[in-house]
Amino acid sequence: MTLTASWSGGGGGWSILVHGGAGHGAHQKGPETETGCRLAAQAAAELLGRGGSALDAVELAVKLLEDDPNYNAGTGASLTVEGRLELDASIMDGRTLALGAVCALSAFKNPVLVARKVLESGRHVLYAGAGADRFAREHGSFPVEENSMITDGARQRLAGYLVDLKSATEGAGTVGAIARDASGSVAAATSTGGLVGKQPGRVGDSPIAGAGTYADDTAGAVSSTGHGEGILRVALASSVIFALRAGSTPEQAASSALTMMQRRVASTGGLIVVDRAGRLAWARTTPSMAWAAVCDGATHSGG
């Protein structure tokens, strides 16, 4: 069964919606993950309320979630089977279709900030591994001590995976944000540590346009979460964008895309969506997904 919710903005104003990951684990439930989403959404809402751009808003929201150890992004991110960090992130501007992404990035505190620098540099869209590290250094970001970003929770999740390999199919708190600003532009950003116990070099959906992230002012913006392999196989974000262009509401587009993914590749996940009118929706086919939204000045949140 797909669970959904939606809100309609008034008069074409700004709106923001964030998620803290769709999945099955206990680490994705509880007041901490909902509170973190609410604080990130409210900070981004303050920026939008001052006339800030959707692109700056989603970058800020995801940065705050990367700094929160309760999520699988930045500090607290899931570990590879070798106990290392390999981080993925992307950010996209719906006004220009500019996109920046990194994957298999080492211990840089805020991968979304590196992705934003990729977007602004304009030459390439996606950097991987050692190339992503080098790009980050050359553009003013520097790695931190890896152990400073690895939490006890991440170590425990890896230990659990090594005992029961089935846990690798579960999401683990990927974070994302979508927004529409007062000028009518949309943006999306997503950040993750990927699957618990993933093989070194594995890349999921989060840094891939049309799978984990997409934004286009002619349709809307999307951030995905869940089983990355399944999301990649069905190009989940693209499915939502196509439905929005065809006239579906955000709620309809999100629900139908997740239902399709579950039917076609037996994968579960979650989505947050904003359309070009500023209407918001989330949907999930998992037991939990932390989220928070601010629309017309009112804050909504849940798990």
Residues annotated as catalytic are 174
Amino acid of residue 288? S
The order of strands in the sheet holding 15-23 is 126-128, 99-105, 87-93, 186-192, 175-180, 15-23, 288-295, 298-302
The H-assigned helical ranges of 86-169 are 111-121, 129-138, 152-163
Give me the residues paired with residue 80 across strands: 198
Residue 161, C-beta contacts closer than 8 angstroms, at least 6 positions apart: 81, 167, 168, 196, 197
Alpha-carbon distances, residue 75 vs 138, 143, 233, 266 (angstroms): 22, 12, 28, 30
Retrieve residue 177's tokens. 């944000």
Contact by Cβ (8 Å): 51, 182: yes
E strand map for 227-279: 269-275
Burial class (CB in 10 A: 0-12, 13-18, 19+), 99: buried
Report helix angle 129-138 to 111-121, nearest 10: 80
CA nearest 112: which of 230, 227, 223, 36?
223
Taking every pair of Cα atoms in the chain, the longest distance, rounded to a whole number of angstroms, is: 53
Amino acid of residue 153? G
Cα 280 from Cα 282, distance rounded (Å): 7
